[in-house]
Amino acid sequence: MSNKLPQAVTSLVKPTDNELLAAFPGEVQGRLFPHLELCTLEMGKVLYEAGDAMRYVYFPTDCIIALVYEMEDGASAEISVVGLEGILGIAAFMGGESTSSRAIALHAGHCFRLPAQRLQHEFNNDSSARMILLRYTQSLIAQMGQTAVCNRHHTIDQQLCRWLLLSLDRLPGDKISMTQELIANMLGVRRESVTEAAGKLQHRGVIRYQRGRITVIDRPQLEELCCECYAVVKKESIRLNPNNSMQKKLGYVQNITTI
Amino acid sequence: MSNKLPQAVTSLVKPTDNELLAAFPGEVQGRLFPHLELCTLEMGKVLYEAGDAMRYVYFPTDCIIALVYEMEDGASAEISVVGLEGILGIAAFMGGESTSSRAIALHAGHCFRLPAQRLQHEFNNDSSARMILLRYTQSLIAQMGQTAVCNRHHTIDQQLCRWLLLSLDRLPGDKISMTQELIANMLGVRRESVTEAAGKLQHRGVIRYQRGRITVIDRPQLEELCCECYAVVKKESIRLNPNNSMQKKLGYVQNITTI
DNA sequence: GTCACTATGTGCGGTATCGCACATATCCCA
DNA sequence: TGGGATATGTGCGATACCGCACATAGTGAC
């Protein structure tokens, strides 16, 4: 698996690829952009450990970052993911300086890094930037809550579908580079269970995969096999972040009624 | 089961019994307190449905409110609880106006109601009130995340312990008025499973109960039987809300090391 | 092309929890 | 004081998932 990205790509990544950065008012952008630092993330890179002070916040453009809770016995589970629609490091403006989750890059790609204090300053002084950040935070909360319920009630088959859709929304194209082992870690289940669920999907012609490379062939069917959790979260995310690009990837979800 | 509260109690409830109201700066209290309205909640009272616009926020003093996600098939699970340490209705200041969870009174008691706009106004104009509310919100997020992981990895026995401790922290005394049916609904498991788990605890002499009345006899043992999730959440809550009264109820938790 | 490594496939016994059915106990109220 | 409602206890088969062991198949490095 190649985690390395061609150097040429780097120059094509713009701050405004991240939807929060893009949504900030012009003056805020003017003050922040000079301090942004482009970073390349390899898969598996840990950006924060649980309890770490957040010196930087990160704005993904084409990578995916997972927020993971790990327990004493090593068992873990992802509680939410962050991509181009969001920001990693909400504790920077929520006032807590740290969180009890670890942040880990699930999918290689790029992000912009900003000293936490700079964002905090804008958060405190620009009500419009504040609103954008808080609404995003609320959508993150919605995602976490739905994940909790999904963990409790839905089968691994359904959760895998949710997870694939979640990832797909945050990546260009229809390919996801991720091993079943990693997916299992994120869902908090056995690798073998993922193998089995993925096998079923491949058999049905929904996806195709080989050694850490998944291609989604039939997205509508994937949405149908998925539990409602995906649609609920997405709907709430779109409501709270009106410029969210995920609207373009709605697919069948458009037809799902409000809960 | 008596959900009715003696009229005399009502007059003893003060706004400052709620820790957030108590923590607000004097000027903020001066502006808000005249608009507070004391409410009596009976068990099972629904304060918000998922998606409801939040016209009011609620500050519990001696009741417990659960945030519950309900799914299409009727299955549900609690993602967090709110008591005297917090506020119900964070969407009022997060900017979303509504959330996708239902809020339901788990334990009868009192709370103070405030028009959402009043709080929003203070949130926007008083940075100190804002900080208090945001830090509380972050502790709520921590609670949700840990609940999600707990759902995934821990046994019902452990989760029941967590749940009892969570409730105990928000109530005066050592008695919890709640049926096993309701607890099962909150944990998102069968009522029979709760019966079995509660039976074990009673057998061990940790609790005593009869028809919806649970008395905790041996709290230290309860903490020992519990998964780490309770302690992790509590620790984070105390870190983020320094005046939190739960410190007084620490028990064994004081000895648990940082994750 | 070969080799070591990593990713995936498969089988099997164990167990926590479910769903259901029904018995029993306790409480409240007529 | 009894009867209906509600809360709790118990048993049993079904099943989703786990933990482990090991087989197989791509893939990159040399």
pLDDT, tens only, B55-102: 999 999 999 999 999 998 889 999 999 999 999 999 999 998 898 999
> pLDDT tens across B180-228, in order?
999 999 999 999 999 999 999 999 999 999 899 999 999 999 999 999 9
B97-121 pLDDT, tens digit each: 898 999 999 999 999 999 999 999 9
For residues B120 and A126, give the distance between their C-alpha atoms in angstroms, rounded to a whole number: 16
> For residue B2, is pLDDT > 90?
no
C1’ C7 / CA A210, Å? 8
Q: Which residues of chain A have pLDDT under 50?
A: 1-10, 250-259
B residues 189..248 contacting A (CB < 8 A): 228-229, 232, 236, 239-240
Check B96 against A239: CB less than 8 A apart: yes
Q: Give strand D nucleotides closer than 7 A to any protein Cβ.
A: 6-11, 16-21, 26-28
pLDDT per residue over B224-257, tens digit each?
999 999 999 999 999 998 877 776 554 444 333 3
Chain A neighbors of B90, CB-CB under 8 A: 138
> Per residue in B152-184, is it b (16+ CB within 10 Å) or e — as a string?
bbbebbbbbbbbbbbbbbbbeeeebbbbbebbb
Rg, Å, chain A Cα set: 18
| Selected residues 90-119 of chain A with any CB under 8 Å from a CB in chain B | 90-91, 93-96, 99-101
CB atoms within 10 A of CB B215: 13
Q: Taking the alpha carbons of B33, B39, B43, B44 in that order, is the dihedral positive or negative?
A: negative
pLDDT of residue B247: 62
Q: What is the pLDDT of residue A2?
A: 38
Residue B80: strand, helix, or coil: strand
Nucleotides of C under 7 A from a protein CB: 6-11, 16-21, 26-28
Cα separation, A222 vs A228, in Å, equals: 12
Strand residues in B108-240 grouped as ranges (E): 109-115, 175-177, 207-210, 213-216
Closest C-alpha to B186, from B69, B87, B86, B89: B69
CA dihedral (B76, B80, B82, B85) in degrees, to 10, reads: 170
In this prediction, what percent of chain B has a pLDDT beyond 70? 90
Contact A259 B151 (CB under 8 A): no
Measured distance CA(A111)–CA(A36) in Å, rounded: 9
Query: B95, A124: Cβ pair inside 8 Å?
Result: no
- CB within 8 Å: A134 and B79: no
